[in-house]
Amino acid sequence: MKVNDIDIKETFNADIVSFNMSVMQIENNIIEMDSSYRVVLGQQQMKPQKRKLVIDFYSEDDISNFTAEISSVFLLDIEDGYMYQCWLTDTPDISQEGIKAFTFTADVYAIKQKKDMTVVNFKGNKKITNTGNCEAEVIFKLSSNSSISDFKINDITCELKAGDPLIIDGIDKKIYYESEPDVSAFDFATMTSFPRLKRGENDITTSDATVDVSISYYPVFM
């Protein structure tokens, strides 16, 4: 089992005891129910899973080093076929069970996703089926052999440069040209939100069939 691709047993001499099963939190906005026993729902909001991570440690130094590793957003691999993007909700609790025996308990938010990114390449229009069962944040890579000042992909309008792909990253919330990944290109794209794939089938439409489109995402699960 690994955290941020680091083997937990080998590096921290620790054993994961449990990572309790959970599902995403669902918040339904109820628009109307007064005149009918049938509810009318508005926008639904999904929030990350709440999970409890319990680990046995045998050294205070290992606890300190592990806590430093997970102090920001971290990736947890418990070898169940998924990857969990996690972050702490509060300070972890540590109890001493004996000499050189400690139990580390942390409440975390978690997003359950497939380990490998799904990539779909195409030109023109495309129907894409989200292979997860939740909405997924996506990355658009748009490549053109000629400059296009107003290329449209769904509700996004952007400027493409010849031979320099534009990256619209809905995962890390960045827009940049591939040749200058550290330079923001927000001024070259007009949109109301970063791209996502809803659960099920999605229609992707473009304004120019000569542009190479690559859509990448991690399938996310409830």
Instruction: State how far the Cα of 205 lies from the Cα of 203, in Å rounded to an integer.
Output: 6
Per-residue model confidence (pLDDT) at position 33: 64
- Percentage above 70 pLDDT, the chain: 95
Same-domain pairing of 99 and 126 = no
Same-domain pairing of 126 and 151 = yes
Same-domain pairing of 138 and 173 = yes
Per-residue model confidence (pLDDT) at position 44: 67
**pLDDT tier at 45, thresholds 50, 70, 90:** confident
Same-domain pairing of 59 and 99 = yes
Same-domain pairing of 91 and 134 = no
Torsion of CA 109, 194, 218, 215, to 10 degrees: 180
Per-residue model confidence (pLDDT) at position 27: 72
Checking if the pLDDT of 125 tops 90, the result is yes
Instruction: State how far the Cα of 102 lies from the Cα of 91, in Å rounded to an integer.
Output: 16
Which CATH number covers residue 103? 2.40.30.200
Same-domain pairing of 175 and 80 = no
Checking if the pLDDT of 21 tops 90, the result is no
- Percentage above 90 pLDDT, the chain: 87
Same-domain pairing of 108 and 124 = no
Same-domain pairing of 20 and 46 = yes
Per-residue model confidence (pLDDT) at position 23: 82
Domain boundary (53, 82, 112) is at 112
pLDDT tens-place string over residues 153-194: 999 999 999 999 999 999 999 999 999 999 999 999 999 999
pLDDT tens-place string over residues 60-106: 999 999 999 999 999 999 999 999 999 999 999 999 999 999 999 99
Which CATH number covers residue 141? 2.60.120.860
- pTM beyond 0.95: the answer is no
Domain boundary (55, 89, 112) is at 112
Same-domain pairing of 104 and 200 = no
Tell me the C-alpha to C-alpha distance, in Å, between residue 16 and each of 54, 87, 112, 211: 6, 17, 17, 47
Residues of the domain holding 61: 2-112
Domain boundary (112, 142, 162) is at 112
Residues with Cβ < 8 Å from 141, sequence gap 6 or more?
Answer: 165, 166, 167, 178, 213, 214, 215, 216
Same-domain pairing of 87 and 154 = no
How many domains are there within the chain? 2
Q: Cβ(36)–Cβ(87) under 8 Å?
A: no
